Structure 1
Amino acid sequence: MPPELPGFYFDAEKNRYFPIKGPIPGSKSKPSISSSSSNSAPTRRGPVSSRTSILLQTRELNGNPLWLKHAKCNFQDEFLKIHASRPQVWAFNGTDKIADGALEQMRLRIMTPEGETATVGLLAGGMNGSLSFCEVGKVGQHFDYGVKCMPEHVWPLKREHEECKVPVHLWRPPPVQFSSDVSCIKIPGKQSIAVDGDHIQHALITTLGSERSGGSVHILNLAEPFDLSLRTATVRQRLHDVASFRCTIWTADCSTNGNRAIVGTNLGAALVNLENAVVSWVCRGKSDVLALQFDQSGNIALCGFRNGAIVTVDVRENQGVSSRLISHQIPSSPSERFQGHSQKHWFKLSGKIYPTDTTYMPKSICSLVSLQLYDQYFLASSVDGSINLYDHRQIKKGPVQCYEGQVNSHTRTQLGTDPSEKFLLSGGEDCYMRLWSIKSGKLLFEDRFSTSVPLVSCCQLTERYPSELDGGQNHTGYSHGQHERWGSWLGSRDGLYYVQWY
């Protein structure tokens, strides 16, 4: 007799498996709260294996979609939520202060004594001005220089009989040193690269600036393979200076095609042509731009200001002769309208602004993330701990979803999402990492494994593997988070952490 597969039945006459698409005749259409444990929703506190078994039994009895606690659910979504609520976390030694400013992951090619090979790399920027390239894998383990960063399992605390297999290895050659903090690292078209597997051409890197000089814009050439066998082939040789500013650069974003960047400064937002280094201002004001995000078309940019405003800016080039920016009076946020005895009802901005598309958060904006799979939505966070989901089409109505539980008062922490855009994660000032379901807003996980605030994050698809979801069959490709193993890198002053939740 062929083995049983959860969610499938075997037809002996046709000699194949068929999925169970609907409820078994005679079963209840909506399991009640008082029904047996096989029909009840899995609880967050139970072991992952136990809760997964309960979920599989529920699907076998009631089909997919499921009814859990009188709510209609998708089996695969619930399966991923169970694993997201119990992640595994590793800390890497020798990485302190290298990734508390910016962090990005990318696929690239490496030259080794054995030949060219594909691997995964991390670009980590520190508040001490360091830029570190880290090879994720075992390619760097063959060299006698650099730092081999050994992982240590830090969450959950394992029992003596449990074994935690190390998911990744990390090796980094000597870093590059800038004259000021690394404020942002961006990979052009990162979402499409994850889907298509194309090689990245370059990375955008910005520095904050100092008392002696302003911030600067650089690109790192990634088109050619890295030859790690040559000690002199450092990251520095691949860096190209693009533009320098006489102001502070807080943040930046890169267009999908990689030929333009937008930088947020203490004077407003400016476009930088990465091919000819031409700089043009698209928004000027007295409030710092602390967060930026292009939309998918590259024609619109969201600007998050220190005063809590989120403003939509048209960044297309002017067709007319005049390049003068149009001045606007934008309503102040409710929290700024009364300060002491003065009334601040307006603040001035110059540029191609859409005043009616402006929304506000209680305090300074610290992160903006446009969703790629749902292009009308974007996530925003402010330094008071508020995290919201907005719809461009209904922005005046306020957020469509709120994510509770974040702890913050003044720190600029970065939001992160997984490639399937099902989960949202962020660090808090209490040094906790929190993970929410983007769709439901439910807090799935919160715990502390770092002694400093997790400031930056980047999520990436790491591997496909056989699972109980597909009967043990191994698939290749990208399918929006149904069978993949997800991982996230977190950067803090303590160093790098790797969080694996499925």
Structure 2
Amino acid sequence: MPQDLPGFYFDPEKNRYFPVKGRIPGSNPNTTASHIQGSSSSKPNRTNDKSNTQRRKRIKAADLFQLRELSGKLITFSKRKSSFQHEYQNIQASQPTVWKYQSANCIADGALEQFYVDIQMPQGQKEADVLLMGCLNGSISLYEVGKFGQHFGHGVKCMPNRVWPLITEYEGECNKAPGYIQSSTPGASILFPSSISCIKGIGKKLPDRIGDGSSLQHALVATLGSGTAGGSVYALNLSDLLDLRMIEIASLHCTIWTGDCNSNGTQAVIGTNLGAALINLESGVLSWVCRSKSDVLSQQFDQSGNFVLCGLRNGAIVAIDVRQKPNSLALSTGLPRHRIAYSSNKIREPPSGKCRSLTRQFFEVRGNLIPSSAICMSSAVCSLATLQSDDQYFLASSMDGFIDLYDRRLLQRGPLQSYEGHVNSHTRLQLGIDPSESLVMSGGEDGCVRIWDIKTGKLLCETDPLDSIVSTVCWPRTGKLQEPVEERREYVDSLYEHNHSWGAWLGSRRGLFYIHGS
């Protein structure tokens, strides 16, 4: 059975793959070939009544179920074949519901991650579903999610209010609110000396260096740094929700913009204004793997942990091989030099979507990389996200409003897919990919949240302005709930899993949001 590759379709007669050319930014939306029969434009018309939108969605869903009964799981739309699951998910994503949590302002605009952690209770070991949120004011907050567990008995409870859509013909659907979130104690948070720039889960349990020698779960937390001091990297212990403990792994005399951990939790990489540095999480040893005069604003490990993608302020994206001997933090003299072509003045050329340099320039990078594999977007690269199903593919977002899908094997051919409608000019906005890797989501500077189909590039949803710029996105993955059966059933029956086909957390300066399919 041929593998489903993003950006390509398989022709059984010719027994080969062909690229699927999606909508290029600025092109006519009527040229998109991925519309469902009988549907209108994928971009919602804000002047239309919300009830009409809901009615159209219900009609499409009914037609989809009818086609599944006639054709099985593989159905045909507009002379193309697709799976029922994929099309049904797109219908649900086209009109999601957005909720805002009360009393949750200014807690998740810097970083946001959801964790499933094992904690020790009097009744035995339990699994808790928690949100760890970092703010630009330097605070870290921990909240437990939903109805499962309820390990925080006296903390602040935040309830959700629906903010989009405000009017709908089918009120019953949108009244199914997600569960509350609750902090450990009133006003509980940890205050760091500067803004929180990164929160990442550490893949495996690390030896506890605090004192009791047991094996604990940790999260990686990085601070941006200030005018008087540089950024720092910490490991935060999540095993005791009522008594958060942290240790400082490294402190640098530079700005830390981003970071990522490899899959087995042994190493972390941080992006700074001086380049990229690798940290051994077990020994705390830090070494430079890339030095550049252009800030590293975004990073992503591949699944092997041998390479890390770095997105630079000047628009370059380079893959760094981290399999090397540690270099001196101050000197980094062992790193080879490379000259990478780029331009501060670029334009996009439809339909290829490639960047054409108006003024060709070069910048120097030190590190183990292949210069020919480096590519350059038209502006600073603020977010990178690889596909777990095949990490040869990755999505990149630039500060001038472009989102592209690339294949690391075909980088010089330009992006495989471009995603229309994103709005950005100077903000570090994060991309979010759903667990099935069918949808990509991002907030915009216009206050809208947009969702695209990764494979076709179709804009599925564009919410009305939320009066807030969503800068962080966390699309949680399924927890590892074990016995007892009663508690597992209680969690599955919670509103996050049962009534909502998918859901994601959104963080902004003005609040914490939850978006889900209806």
TM-score by length of 1: 0.79
Q: What SS does the corresponding residue of 1:60 show, helix, strand or coil?
A: helix
What is the match of residue 168 of structure 1?
A: 179
Residue 252 in structure 1 maps to residue 259 in structure 2:
yes
What is the match of residue 303 of structure 2?
A: 296
What is the match of residue 66 of structure 1?
A: 75
Contact 1:204 1:219 in 2 (8 A): yes
Q: What CA distance in whole angstroms lies between the structure 1 residues aligned with 2:312 and 2:498?
A: 37
Q: Which runs of 5+ in 1 are unaligned?
A: 1-38, 191-198, 465-475
Residue 306 in structure 1 maps to residue 313 in structure 2:
yes
If you compute each CA radius of gyration, which structure gives the higher value, 1 or 2? 1
Contact 1:336 1:344 in 2 (8 A): no
Note the alpha carbon deviations across 1:142-184, whole angstroms, 9 max, x for none: 7564321111111222459723122221011311100100000
What is the match of residue 93 of structure 1?
A: 102
What is the match of residue 329 of structure 1?
A: 339
CA deviation after TM superposition for structure 1 residue 461, in Å: 3.9
What is the match of residue 456 of structure 2?
A: 440
RMSD of aligned Cα (Å): 3.0
Contact 1:431 1:450 in 2 (8 A): yes
What is the match of residue 31 of structure 1?
A: none
Q: What CA distance in whole angstroms lies between the structure 2 residues aligned with 1:320 and 1:211?
A: 27
Q: Select between 81-90 and 342-351 the one with higher mean Cα deviation.
A: 342-351
CA deviation after TM superposition for structure 1 residue 64, in Å: 4.0
CA deviation after TM superposition for structure 1 residue 60, in Å: 2.6
Q: What SS does the corresponding residue of 1:394 show, helix, strand or coil?
A: helix
What is the match of residue 84 of structure 1?
A: 93
Q: What CA distance in whole angstroms lies between the structure 2 residues aligned with 1:136 and 1:63?
A: 37
Matches within 5 A, 1:120-199: 120-138=129-147, 145-158=154-167, 162-163=171-172, 164-173=175-184, 174-189=188-203
What is the match of residue 280 of structure 1?
A: 287
Q: What CA distance in whole angstroms lies between the structure 2 residues aligned with 1:389 and 1:486?
A: 22
Q: What CA distance in whole angstroms lies between the structure 2 residues aligned with 1:49 and 1:88?
A: 15
Contact 1:41 1:68 in 2 (8 A): no
Q: Select between 130-139 and 393-402 the one with higher mean Cα deviation.
A: 130-139
Contact 1:42 1:54 in 2 (8 A): no
What is the match of residue 4 of structure 2?
A: none
Matches within 5 A, 1:92-491: 92-110=101-119, 116-138=125-147, 145-158=154-167, 162-163=171-172, 164-173=175-184, 174-189=188-203, 201-222=217-238, 224-226=239-241, 228=242, 233=243, 235=244, 238-318=245-325, 324-333=334-343, 335=345, 345-461=361-477, 485-491=501-507
Contact 1:154 1:449 in 2 (8 A): no
Q: What CA distance in whole angstroms lies between the structure 1 residues aligned with 2:222 and 2:500?
A: 32
Contact 2:144 2:152 in 1 (8 A): no
Q: What SS does the corresponding residue of 2:248 show, helix, strand or coil?
A: strand
Provide the aligned length of Structure 1 versus Structure 2.
430
Q: What SS does the corresponding residue of 1:455 show, helix, strand or coil?
A: strand
Identity of aligned residues (%): 49
Q: What SS does the corresponding residue of 1:499 show, helix, strand or coil?
A: strand
Q: What CA distance in whole angstroms lies between the structure 1 residues aligned with 2:266 and 2:500?
A: 31
Q: What CA distance in whole angstroms lies between the structure 1 residues aligned with 2:124 and 2:359?
A: 67
What is the match of residue 21 of structure 2?
A: none
Q: What CA distance in whole angstroms lies between the structure 1 residues aligned with 2:101 and 2:503?
A: 15
CA deviation after TM superposition for structure 1 residue 131, in Å: 0.4
Note the alpha carbon deviations across 1:327-385, whole angstroms, 9 max, x for none: 11111236279xxxx96521111111210110111000000001101221000000000
CA deviation after TM superposition for structure 1 residue 41, in Å: 4.6
TM-score by length of 2: 0.77
Q: Which runs of 5+ in 2 are unaligned?
A: 1-35, 43-52, 205-214, 348-357, 481-491
